[in-house]
Structure 1
Amino acid sequence: MTVEAPTVPDRTRAAATTGPRRNRWPRLTRIGLSILSVLLGVLIWDLVSRNYTAFFLPSPRLTLDGAVELVRDGTLWDSVSASSTRILTGWLLGVLVGVPMGLLMGCIPWLRLMLDPYIQFFRFVPPIAFVTLAIIWLGPGEASKVALIFYTTVFIVALNTLAGVLSVNEIRMRAARALGAGPVRSLVSVVLPSTVPHVVTGARLAMGNSFLTIVSAEIVAAQSGLGSLIWTARNYAKTEWVFVGIIALGLLGYLFDWILRLVTGRTLRRYGVTF
Protein backbone atom coordinates (compact mmCIF):
# COMPACT_ATOMS: atom_id res chain seq x y z
CA MET A 1 0.00 0.00 0.00
CA THR A 2 1.29 3.45 -0.86
CA VAL A 3 0.32 6.70 0.75
CA GLU A 4 0.40 9.77 -1.42
CA ALA A 5 1.73 12.92 0.14
CA PRO A 6 -0.69 15.82 0.05
CA THR A 7 -0.08 18.16 -2.81
CA VAL A 8 0.75 21.82 -2.34
CA PRO A 9 -2.83 22.95 -3.08
CA ASP A 10 -4.10 20.46 -0.49
CA ARG A 11 -1.73 21.84 2.11
CA THR A 12 -2.68 25.38 1.22
CA ARG A 13 -6.36 24.51 1.43
CA ALA A 14 -5.86 22.86 4.81
CA ALA A 15 -3.96 25.86 6.12
CA ALA A 16 -6.68 28.18 4.88
CA THR A 17 -9.28 26.08 6.63
CA THR A 18 -7.55 25.79 9.98
CA GLY A 19 -5.58 29.05 10.00
CA PRO A 20 -8.24 31.51 11.18
CA ARG A 21 -9.33 29.23 14.00
CA ARG A 22 -5.77 28.91 15.27
CA ASN A 23 -5.17 32.65 14.96
CA ARG A 24 -8.33 33.55 16.84
CA TRP A 25 -7.28 31.92 20.11
CA PRO A 26 -4.14 33.97 20.80
CA ARG A 27 -6.11 37.20 20.40
CA LEU A 28 -8.87 35.98 22.69
CA THR A 29 -6.25 34.84 25.15
CA ARG A 30 -4.57 38.25 25.17
CA ILE A 31 -7.88 40.02 25.71
CA GLY A 32 -8.84 37.59 28.44
CA LEU A 33 -5.53 37.98 30.24
CA SER A 34 -5.80 41.77 30.05
CA ILE A 35 -9.30 41.72 31.53
CA LEU A 36 -8.21 39.26 34.21
CA SER A 37 -5.24 41.47 35.08
CA VAL A 38 -7.50 44.52 35.49
CA LEU A 39 -9.96 42.60 37.65
CA LEU A 40 -7.16 41.28 39.85
CA GLY A 41 -5.76 44.79 40.20
CA VAL A 42 -9.14 46.15 41.28
CA LEU A 43 -9.57 43.26 43.72
CA ILE A 44 -6.16 43.89 45.30
CA TRP A 45 -6.93 47.61 45.45
CA ASP A 46 -10.22 46.87 47.24
CA LEU A 47 -8.61 44.50 49.73
CA VAL A 48 -5.79 46.91 50.57
CA SER A 49 -8.16 49.89 50.90
CA ARG A 50 -10.03 48.13 53.71
CA ASN A 51 -7.01 48.60 55.96
CA TYR A 52 -6.89 52.38 55.52
CA THR A 53 -9.17 55.37 55.79
CA ALA A 54 -11.04 56.66 52.75
CA PHE A 55 -8.94 59.81 52.84
CA PHE A 56 -5.68 57.84 52.62
CA LEU A 57 -6.80 55.20 50.10
CA PRO A 58 -10.38 55.30 48.78
CA SER A 59 -11.91 52.02 47.70
CA PRO A 60 -12.82 51.27 44.06
CA ARG A 61 -16.50 51.72 44.93
CA LEU A 62 -15.89 55.12 46.51
CA THR A 63 -13.77 56.14 43.52
CA LEU A 64 -16.56 55.06 41.18
CA ASP A 65 -19.05 57.13 43.18
CA GLY A 66 -16.70 60.10 42.88
CA ALA A 67 -16.47 59.60 39.12
CA VAL A 68 -20.26 59.51 38.83
CA GLU A 69 -20.49 62.71 40.86
CA LEU A 70 -17.98 64.48 38.61
CA VAL A 71 -19.69 63.23 35.47
CA ARG A 72 -23.11 64.41 36.60
CA ASP A 73 -22.02 67.97 37.30
CA GLY A 74 -19.94 68.09 34.10
CA THR A 75 -16.60 68.63 35.82
CA LEU A 76 -14.98 65.46 34.50
CA TRP A 77 -16.04 66.05 30.89
CA ASP A 78 -14.86 69.66 31.01
CA SER A 79 -11.52 68.58 32.47
CA VAL A 80 -10.99 65.85 29.88
CA SER A 81 -11.94 68.22 27.06
CA ALA A 82 -9.61 70.98 28.25
CA SER A 83 -6.61 68.69 28.71
CA SER A 84 -7.22 66.88 25.42
CA THR A 85 -7.40 70.12 23.45
CA ARG A 86 -4.17 71.42 24.96
CA ILE A 87 -2.31 68.16 24.42
CA LEU A 88 -3.44 67.66 20.83
CA THR A 89 -2.78 71.27 19.83
CA GLY A 90 0.72 71.43 21.30
CA TRP A 91 1.58 67.93 20.12
CA LEU A 92 0.47 68.56 16.53
CA LEU A 93 2.41 71.82 16.39
CA GLY A 94 5.47 70.07 17.78
CA VAL A 95 5.25 67.29 15.19
CA LEU A 96 4.70 69.76 12.33
CA VAL A 97 7.81 71.70 13.33
CA GLY A 98 9.94 68.81 14.61
CA VAL A 99 9.75 66.67 11.47
CA PRO A 100 11.00 69.35 9.02
CA MET A 101 13.62 70.40 11.57
CA GLY A 102 14.94 66.84 11.81
CA LEU A 103 14.92 66.39 8.04
CA LEU A 104 16.82 69.63 7.47
CA MET A 105 19.36 68.80 10.17
CA GLY A 106 19.90 65.38 8.65
CA CYS A 107 20.29 66.64 5.10
CA ILE A 108 22.31 69.81 5.81
CA PRO A 109 25.40 69.06 7.93
CA TRP A 110 26.28 72.68 8.74
CA LEU A 111 22.73 73.33 9.97
CA ARG A 112 22.95 70.26 12.19
CA LEU A 113 26.20 71.50 13.68
CA MET A 114 24.69 74.92 14.39
CA LEU A 115 21.46 73.66 15.99
CA ASP A 116 22.92 70.70 17.86
CA PRO A 117 24.20 72.71 20.89
CA TYR A 118 20.76 74.25 21.46
CA ILE A 119 18.91 70.96 21.09
CA GLN A 120 21.34 69.11 23.35
CA PHE A 121 20.97 71.86 25.96
CA PHE A 122 17.20 72.31 25.97
CA ARG A 123 16.29 68.64 25.75
CA PHE A 124 17.70 68.18 29.27
CA VAL A 125 15.68 71.08 30.71
CA PRO A 126 12.25 69.76 31.78
CA PRO A 127 9.17 71.69 30.61
CA ILE A 128 8.07 72.32 34.19
CA ALA A 129 11.12 74.59 34.57
CA PHE A 130 9.59 76.93 31.98
CA VAL A 131 6.11 77.13 33.54
CA THR A 132 6.81 80.44 35.26
CA LEU A 133 8.35 81.98 32.14
CA ALA A 134 5.49 80.68 29.99
CA ILE A 135 2.97 82.40 32.25
CA ILE A 136 4.98 85.65 32.29
CA TRP A 137 5.49 85.71 28.53
CA LEU A 138 2.19 84.23 27.30
CA GLY A 139 -0.18 84.77 30.22
CA PRO A 140 -2.16 82.23 32.24
CA GLY A 141 -4.40 81.33 29.29
CA GLU A 142 -4.26 78.47 26.84
CA ALA A 143 -1.18 79.72 24.98
CA SER A 144 1.19 78.98 27.87
CA LYS A 145 -0.01 75.38 28.23
CA VAL A 146 0.11 74.74 24.48
CA ALA A 147 3.61 76.23 24.31
CA LEU A 148 4.83 73.85 27.03
CA ILE A 149 3.40 70.85 25.17
CA PHE A 150 5.03 72.13 21.99
CA TYR A 151 8.35 72.40 23.81
CA THR A 152 7.92 68.85 25.09
CA THR A 153 7.21 67.48 21.62
CA VAL A 154 9.41 69.33 19.16
CA PHE A 155 12.83 68.14 20.35
CA ILE A 156 11.78 64.51 20.75
CA VAL A 157 10.33 64.41 17.24
CA ALA A 158 13.24 66.33 15.71
CA LEU A 159 15.87 64.03 17.25
CA ASN A 160 14.04 60.87 16.20
CA THR A 161 13.60 62.23 12.68
CA LEU A 162 17.28 63.12 12.57
CA ALA A 163 18.17 59.59 13.66
CA GLY A 164 16.04 58.25 10.83
CA VAL A 165 17.77 60.43 8.24
CA LEU A 166 21.22 59.47 9.48
CA SER A 167 20.31 55.77 9.37
CA VAL A 168 19.61 55.87 5.61
CA ASN A 169 21.83 53.43 3.76
CA GLU A 170 24.43 55.36 1.78
CA ILE A 171 24.40 52.69 -0.93
CA ARG A 172 20.72 53.38 -1.57
CA MET A 173 21.42 57.09 -1.83
CA ARG A 174 24.20 56.47 -4.35
CA ALA A 175 21.97 54.15 -6.34
CA ALA A 176 19.24 56.79 -6.45
CA ARG A 177 21.69 59.43 -7.66
CA ALA A 178 23.08 57.01 -10.24
CA LEU A 179 19.57 56.56 -11.61
CA GLY A 180 19.26 60.30 -12.05
CA ALA A 181 17.30 61.18 -8.90
CA GLY A 182 17.80 64.73 -7.72
CA PRO A 183 17.79 65.94 -4.10
CA VAL A 184 13.99 66.19 -3.91
CA ARG A 185 13.43 62.83 -5.57
CA SER A 186 16.00 61.17 -3.31
CA LEU A 187 14.31 62.71 -0.28
CA VAL A 188 10.89 61.40 -1.27
CA SER A 189 11.90 57.96 -2.53
CA VAL A 190 14.78 57.05 -0.21
CA VAL A 191 15.02 59.26 2.87
CA LEU A 192 11.35 59.52 3.85
CA PRO A 193 10.58 55.76 3.71
CA SER A 194 13.55 55.12 6.01
CA THR A 195 12.65 57.99 8.32
CA VAL A 196 8.93 57.36 8.83
CA PRO A 197 9.35 54.61 11.48
CA HIS A 198 11.56 56.95 13.52
CA VAL A 199 9.06 59.81 13.13
CA VAL A 200 6.20 57.65 14.39
CA THR A 201 8.26 56.43 17.33
CA GLY A 202 9.17 60.01 18.22
CA ALA A 203 5.54 61.10 17.94
CA ARG A 204 4.42 58.34 20.31
CA LEU A 205 7.14 59.15 22.83
CA ALA A 206 6.26 62.83 22.65
CA MET A 207 2.59 62.04 23.24
CA GLY A 208 3.45 60.22 26.47
CA ASN A 209 5.66 63.05 27.69
CA SER A 210 2.93 65.56 26.83
CA PHE A 211 0.72 64.02 29.50
CA LEU A 212 3.47 64.52 32.07
CA THR A 213 3.79 68.15 31.07
CA ILE A 214 0.09 69.00 30.98
CA VAL A 215 -0.49 67.82 34.55
CA SER A 216 2.34 70.00 35.86
CA ALA A 217 1.20 73.00 33.84
CA GLU A 218 -2.45 72.68 34.87
CA ILE A 219 -1.58 72.28 38.53
CA VAL A 220 0.42 75.51 38.49
CA ALA A 221 -1.69 77.71 36.22
CA ALA A 222 -5.11 76.47 35.11
CA GLN A 223 -8.70 76.61 36.23
CA SER A 224 -9.68 73.57 34.18
CA GLY A 225 -8.16 70.29 33.07
CA LEU A 226 -7.33 67.01 34.74
CA GLY A 227 -4.26 68.44 36.44
CA SER A 228 -6.36 71.22 37.91
CA LEU A 229 -8.98 68.67 39.00
CA ILE A 230 -6.36 66.62 40.84
CA TRP A 231 -4.96 69.72 42.53
CA THR A 232 -8.39 71.12 43.45
CA ALA A 233 -9.43 67.82 45.05
CA ARG A 234 -7.06 68.45 47.95
CA ASN A 235 -9.04 71.55 48.97
CA TYR A 236 -12.10 69.37 49.53
CA ALA A 237 -10.21 66.38 51.00
CA LYS A 238 -11.57 64.32 48.10
CA THR A 239 -8.89 61.72 47.53
CA GLU A 240 -11.29 59.75 45.35
CA TRP A 241 -11.33 62.71 42.92
CA VAL A 242 -7.56 62.44 42.71
CA PHE A 243 -7.91 58.79 41.76
CA VAL A 244 -10.56 59.67 39.19
CA GLY A 245 -8.24 62.23 37.61
CA ILE A 246 -5.33 59.78 37.53
CA ILE A 247 -7.45 57.03 36.00
CA ALA A 248 -8.87 59.47 33.44
CA LEU A 249 -5.34 60.51 32.44
CA GLY A 250 -4.30 56.89 31.96
CA LEU A 251 -7.37 56.02 29.91
CA LEU A 252 -7.03 59.17 27.81
CA GLY A 253 -3.38 58.43 27.09
CA TYR A 254 -4.20 54.85 26.17
CA LEU A 255 -6.94 56.07 23.81
CA PHE A 256 -4.67 58.61 22.10
CA ASP A 257 -1.90 56.06 21.64
CA TRP A 258 -4.36 53.47 20.31
CA ILE A 259 -5.70 55.94 17.74
CA LEU A 260 -2.16 56.87 16.70
CA ARG A 261 -1.21 53.21 16.30
CA LEU A 262 -4.39 52.54 14.34
CA VAL A 263 -3.78 55.42 11.94
CA THR A 264 -0.11 54.63 11.39
CA GLY A 265 -0.80 50.93 11.05
CA ARG A 266 -3.24 51.49 8.20
CA THR A 267 -1.70 54.39 6.33
CA LEU A 268 2.06 53.87 6.82
CA ARG A 269 2.35 50.11 6.54
CA ARG A 270 4.10 50.43 3.19
CA TYR A 271 6.92 52.28 4.97
CA GLY A 272 7.42 49.40 7.37
CA VAL A 273 5.60 50.97 10.35
CA THR A 274 3.68 48.21 12.11
CA PHE A 275 2.40 47.94 15.68
Structure 2
Amino acid sequence: MDLTTFLIQCLNSVQYGLLLFLIASGLTLIFGIMGVINLAHGSFYMIGAYMAFSLSSLTGNFVLALVLGVVLAVAFGYVLEWCFFSFLYEREHLQQVLMTYGLILVFEEMRSILVGDDVHGVPVPAWLEGGIAIGNDMTYPVYRLFISGVCVLLAVAMYVALKKTRLGMMVRAGATNREMVQSLGINISLLYRIVFAVGVAIAVLAGMIAAPVSSVYPGMGGSVLIICFVVVVIGGIGSIKGALVASLLIGFVDTFGKVFWQQAAGALIYVLMAAILLWKPEGLFKQGT
Protein backbone atom coordinates (compact mmCIF):
# COMPACT_ATOMS: atom_id res chain seq x y z
CA MET A 1 0.00 0.00 0.00
CA ASP A 2 1.47 3.32 -1.07
CA LEU A 3 1.21 6.54 0.92
CA THR A 4 -1.66 7.97 -1.16
CA THR A 5 -3.80 4.86 -0.74
CA PHE A 6 -3.01 4.78 2.98
CA LEU A 7 -4.10 8.42 3.35
CA ILE A 8 -7.37 7.76 1.51
CA GLN A 9 -8.11 4.75 3.72
CA CYS A 10 -7.41 6.89 6.80
CA LEU A 11 -9.90 9.48 5.55
CA ASN A 12 -12.44 6.72 4.92
CA SER A 13 -11.86 5.41 8.44
CA VAL A 14 -12.37 8.83 10.02
CA GLN A 15 -15.48 9.53 7.92
CA TYR A 16 -17.05 6.18 8.79
CA GLY A 17 -16.11 6.53 12.45
CA LEU A 18 -17.55 10.04 12.72
CA LEU A 19 -20.80 9.01 11.03
CA LEU A 20 -21.03 6.03 13.36
CA PHE A 21 -20.48 8.38 16.30
CA LEU A 22 -23.32 10.56 15.10
CA ILE A 23 -25.68 7.58 15.18
CA ALA A 24 -24.35 6.06 18.40
CA SER A 25 -24.26 9.32 20.37
CA GLY A 26 -28.05 9.50 20.31
CA LEU A 27 -28.24 5.91 21.51
CA THR A 28 -25.75 6.47 24.34
CA LEU A 29 -27.70 9.56 25.44
CA ILE A 30 -30.97 7.61 25.60
CA PHE A 31 -29.45 4.40 26.97
CA GLY A 32 -26.95 5.92 29.40
CA ILE A 33 -28.89 8.91 30.69
CA MET A 34 -32.47 7.66 30.56
CA GLY A 35 -31.80 3.97 31.19
CA VAL A 36 -33.93 2.74 28.28
CA ILE A 37 -32.72 -0.03 25.98
CA ASN A 38 -33.96 1.34 22.68
CA LEU A 39 -33.80 -1.30 19.95
CA ALA A 40 -35.68 1.08 17.65
CA HIS A 41 -32.76 3.50 17.44
CA GLY A 42 -31.56 2.00 14.17
CA SER A 43 -35.01 2.66 12.73
CA PHE A 44 -34.49 6.38 13.32
CA TYR A 45 -31.41 6.17 11.08
CA MET A 46 -33.53 4.43 8.42
CA ILE A 47 -36.26 7.05 8.77
CA GLY A 48 -33.66 9.76 8.22
CA ALA A 49 -32.45 8.13 5.01
CA TYR A 50 -35.99 7.85 3.66
CA MET A 51 -36.70 11.43 4.72
CA ALA A 52 -33.66 12.55 2.73
CA PHE A 53 -35.01 10.74 -0.32
CA SER A 54 -38.56 12.07 0.06
CA LEU A 55 -37.83 15.64 1.14
CA SER A 56 -35.03 16.22 -1.36
CA SER A 57 -37.38 15.01 -4.12
CA LEU A 58 -40.13 17.36 -2.94
CA THR A 59 -38.01 20.45 -2.30
CA GLY A 60 -35.25 19.96 -4.84
CA ASN A 61 -32.81 21.32 -2.25
CA PHE A 62 -30.75 18.96 -0.11
CA VAL A 63 -29.87 21.53 2.57
CA LEU A 64 -33.51 22.55 2.95
CA ALA A 65 -34.41 18.86 3.18
CA LEU A 66 -31.88 18.46 6.02
CA VAL A 67 -33.34 21.40 7.95
CA LEU A 68 -36.92 20.20 7.51
CA GLY A 69 -35.91 16.66 8.42
CA VAL A 70 -34.26 17.71 11.67
CA VAL A 71 -37.27 19.84 12.68
CA LEU A 72 -39.67 16.98 11.93
CA ALA A 73 -37.39 14.53 13.78
CA VAL A 74 -37.37 16.66 16.94
CA ALA A 75 -41.17 16.84 16.90
CA PHE A 76 -41.42 13.11 16.17
CA GLY A 77 -39.03 12.22 19.00
CA TYR A 78 -40.86 14.49 21.45
CA VAL A 79 -44.24 12.87 20.67
CA LEU A 80 -42.78 9.36 20.67
CA GLU A 81 -41.27 9.80 24.12
CA TRP A 82 -44.52 11.23 25.45
CA CYS A 83 -46.68 8.46 24.01
CA PHE A 84 -44.44 5.42 24.57
CA PHE A 85 -41.04 5.80 26.19
CA SER A 86 -42.21 7.83 29.20
CA PHE A 87 -43.87 4.66 30.49
CA LEU A 88 -40.68 2.58 30.32
CA TYR A 89 -38.35 4.26 32.83
CA GLU A 90 -39.48 2.19 35.79
CA ARG A 91 -40.08 -0.99 33.80
CA GLU A 92 -37.80 -4.00 33.50
CA HIS A 93 -35.36 -4.15 30.61
CA LEU A 94 -37.26 -7.07 29.06
CA GLN A 95 -40.37 -4.91 28.71
CA GLN A 96 -38.26 -2.13 27.16
CA VAL A 97 -36.80 -4.57 24.66
CA LEU A 98 -40.19 -5.99 23.71
CA MET A 99 -41.82 -2.60 23.18
CA THR A 100 -38.95 -1.09 21.21
CA TYR A 101 -38.74 -4.22 19.06
CA GLY A 102 -42.44 -3.79 18.38
CA LEU A 103 -41.71 -0.24 17.24
CA ILE A 104 -39.19 -1.61 14.74
CA LEU A 105 -41.93 -3.72 13.17
CA VAL A 106 -44.30 -0.75 13.10
CA PHE A 107 -41.72 1.54 11.49
CA GLU A 108 -40.81 -1.07 8.88
CA GLU A 109 -44.44 -1.65 7.96
CA MET A 110 -45.14 2.09 7.76
CA ARG A 111 -42.07 2.52 5.56
CA SER A 112 -43.34 -0.22 3.25
CA ILE A 113 -46.80 1.35 3.01
CA LEU A 114 -45.63 4.94 2.49
CA VAL A 115 -42.51 4.53 0.35
CA GLY A 116 -42.47 0.94 -0.85
CA ASP A 117 -39.75 -1.71 -0.75
CA ASP A 118 -37.56 -0.49 -3.59
CA VAL A 119 -33.96 0.63 -3.20
CA HIS A 120 -33.55 4.37 -3.78
CA GLY A 121 -30.66 6.70 -4.36
CA VAL A 122 -30.24 10.27 -3.15
CA PRO A 123 -28.15 12.49 -5.44
CA VAL A 124 -25.21 14.38 -4.02
CA PRO A 125 -25.85 18.16 -4.14
CA ALA A 126 -24.22 19.80 -7.14
CA TRP A 127 -22.07 22.07 -4.96
CA LEU A 128 -20.65 19.02 -3.16
CA GLU A 129 -19.88 16.95 -6.24
CA GLY A 130 -16.37 16.26 -7.41
CA GLY A 131 -13.28 15.44 -5.42
CA ILE A 132 -10.03 16.78 -4.02
CA ALA A 133 -6.85 15.56 -5.67
CA ILE A 134 -4.67 13.35 -3.49
CA GLY A 135 -1.42 12.35 -5.08
CA ASN A 136 -1.00 12.23 -8.83
CA ASP A 137 -3.98 10.17 -9.96
CA MET A 138 -6.42 9.78 -7.03
CA THR A 139 -9.18 11.99 -5.63
CA TYR A 140 -11.29 12.00 -2.49
CA PRO A 141 -15.00 12.90 -2.73
CA VAL A 142 -15.89 16.33 -1.38
CA TYR A 143 -19.19 15.00 -0.01
CA ARG A 144 -17.40 12.58 2.31
CA LEU A 145 -15.42 15.51 3.70
CA PHE A 146 -18.73 17.32 4.16
CA ILE A 147 -20.05 14.37 6.20
CA SER A 148 -16.96 14.44 8.41
CA GLY A 149 -17.27 18.20 8.90
CA VAL A 150 -20.92 17.97 9.95
CA CYS A 151 -20.11 15.19 12.40
CA VAL A 152 -17.24 17.16 13.96
CA LEU A 153 -19.42 20.26 14.37
CA LEU A 154 -22.16 18.23 16.06
CA ALA A 155 -19.64 16.49 18.32
CA VAL A 156 -18.33 19.87 19.49
CA ALA A 157 -21.89 21.17 19.92
CA MET A 158 -22.87 18.16 22.04
CA TYR A 159 -19.78 18.52 24.21
CA VAL A 160 -20.46 22.21 24.82
CA ALA A 161 -24.15 21.59 25.48
CA LEU A 162 -23.53 18.82 28.01
CA LYS A 163 -20.50 20.32 29.75
CA LYS A 164 -20.90 24.09 29.56
CA THR A 165 -24.63 24.81 29.72
CA ARG A 166 -27.28 24.77 32.42
CA LEU A 167 -29.33 22.27 30.42
CA GLY A 168 -26.36 19.93 30.23
CA MET A 169 -25.82 20.22 33.98
CA MET A 170 -29.46 19.27 34.59
CA VAL A 171 -29.21 16.33 32.18
CA ARG A 172 -26.11 14.99 33.92
CA ALA A 173 -27.66 15.48 37.34
CA GLY A 174 -30.87 13.76 36.23
CA ALA A 175 -28.89 10.78 35.01
CA THR A 176 -27.14 10.48 38.38
CA ASN A 177 -30.06 11.04 40.76
CA ARG A 178 -33.48 11.56 39.23
CA GLU A 179 -35.32 11.93 42.56
CA MET A 180 -32.95 14.62 43.85
CA VAL A 181 -33.32 16.64 40.64
CA GLN A 182 -37.11 16.42 40.90
CA SER A 183 -36.98 17.60 44.52
CA LEU A 184 -35.16 20.73 43.33
CA GLY A 185 -38.15 21.69 41.21
CA ILE A 186 -36.80 20.60 37.82
CA ASN A 187 -39.31 19.00 35.48
CA ILE A 188 -37.40 15.78 34.86
CA SER A 189 -40.10 14.43 32.52
CA LEU A 190 -39.73 17.42 30.21
CA LEU A 191 -35.95 17.15 30.47
CA TYR A 192 -36.00 13.49 29.43
CA ARG A 193 -38.40 14.33 26.60
CA ILE A 194 -35.96 16.92 25.25
CA VAL A 195 -33.02 14.49 25.54
CA PHE A 196 -34.94 11.81 23.70
CA ALA A 197 -36.03 14.21 20.95
CA VAL A 198 -32.43 15.34 20.47
CA GLY A 199 -31.24 11.73 20.33
CA VAL A 200 -33.81 10.90 17.67
CA ALA A 201 -32.94 14.02 15.66
CA ILE A 202 -29.22 13.16 15.69
CA ALA A 203 -29.89 9.63 14.39
CA VAL A 204 -32.26 10.98 11.72
CA LEU A 205 -29.66 13.55 10.63
CA ALA A 206 -27.05 10.78 10.39
CA GLY A 207 -29.37 8.81 8.11
CA MET A 208 -30.04 11.87 5.96
CA ILE A 209 -26.41 12.81 5.34
CA ALA A 210 -25.43 9.15 4.81
CA ALA A 211 -28.16 8.52 2.21
CA PRO A 212 -26.24 9.89 -0.82
CA VAL A 213 -23.27 7.55 -0.18
CA SER A 214 -25.04 4.41 1.08
CA SER A 215 -28.38 4.41 -0.83
CA VAL A 216 -31.78 3.96 0.83
CA TYR A 217 -33.15 0.45 1.32
CA PRO A 218 -35.48 -1.53 3.62
CA GLY A 219 -34.02 -2.81 6.88
CA MET A 220 -30.96 -0.56 6.72
CA GLY A 221 -31.31 0.30 10.41
CA GLY A 222 -30.76 -3.27 11.64
CA SER A 223 -27.04 -3.65 10.97
CA VAL A 224 -26.39 -0.08 12.14
CA LEU A 225 -28.12 -0.80 15.47
CA ILE A 226 -25.78 -3.71 16.26
CA ILE A 227 -22.66 -1.63 15.59
CA CYS A 228 -24.10 1.23 17.66
CA PHE A 229 -24.50 -1.01 20.70
CA VAL A 230 -20.90 -2.15 20.21
CA VAL A 231 -19.85 1.52 20.24
CA VAL A 232 -21.81 2.19 23.43
CA VAL A 233 -20.35 -0.86 25.17
CA ILE A 234 -16.76 -0.09 24.15
CA GLY A 235 -16.95 3.63 24.91
CA GLY A 236 -18.83 3.26 28.18
CA ILE A 237 -22.56 3.60 28.68
CA GLY A 238 -23.60 7.25 28.79
CA SER A 239 -20.22 8.65 27.72
CA ILE A 240 -20.19 10.94 24.67
CA LYS A 241 -16.39 11.03 24.68
CA GLY A 242 -16.34 7.26 24.85
CA ALA A 243 -18.75 7.01 21.91
CA LEU A 244 -16.45 9.24 19.83
CA VAL A 245 -13.29 7.28 20.66
CA ALA A 246 -15.00 3.91 20.17
CA SER A 247 -16.51 4.98 16.84
CA LEU A 248 -13.13 6.08 15.50
CA LEU A 249 -11.52 2.84 16.69
CA ILE A 250 -14.19 0.80 14.94
CA GLY A 251 -13.85 2.96 11.82
CA PHE A 252 -10.14 2.19 11.53
CA VAL A 253 -10.48 -1.48 12.44
CA ASP A 254 -13.33 -2.04 9.97
CA THR A 255 -11.77 -0.08 7.08
CA PHE A 256 -8.26 -1.48 7.32
CA GLY A 257 -9.63 -4.91 8.17
CA LYS A 258 -11.42 -4.94 4.80
CA VAL A 259 -8.18 -3.87 3.10
CA PHE A 260 -5.83 -6.42 4.67
CA TRP A 261 -8.10 -9.27 5.81
CA GLN A 262 -11.44 -9.03 4.06
CA GLN A 263 -12.74 -12.45 5.08
CA ALA A 264 -12.47 -11.69 8.80
CA ALA A 265 -13.14 -7.94 8.73
CA GLY A 266 -16.64 -8.30 10.20
CA ALA A 267 -15.35 -10.28 13.18
CA LEU A 268 -12.50 -7.88 14.00
CA ILE A 269 -14.92 -5.34 15.46
CA TYR A 270 -16.18 -7.87 17.99
CA VAL A 271 -12.64 -9.02 18.75
CA LEU A 272 -11.85 -5.39 19.54
CA MET A 273 -14.89 -5.19 21.82
CA ALA A 274 -13.93 -8.40 23.65
CA ALA A 275 -10.34 -7.21 24.16
CA ILE A 276 -11.42 -3.84 25.56
CA LEU A 277 -14.01 -5.39 27.88
CA LEU A 278 -11.41 -7.82 29.22
CA TRP A 279 -9.21 -4.81 29.98
CA LYS A 280 -11.95 -2.42 31.18
CA PRO A 281 -15.30 -4.16 31.76
CA GLU A 282 -17.11 -0.81 32.24
CA GLY A 283 -15.87 0.55 28.89
CA LEU A 284 -13.21 3.13 28.09
CA PHE A 285 -14.87 6.06 29.89
CA LYS A 286 -17.29 6.56 32.72
CA GLN A 287 -20.85 7.82 32.38
CA GLY A 288 -21.13 11.59 31.96
CA THR A 289 -17.63 12.07 30.51
In the superposition, the TM-score normalised over structure 2's length comes to: 0.29
In the superposition, the TM-score normalised over structure 1's length comes to: 0.30
Larger fraction in helix:
1
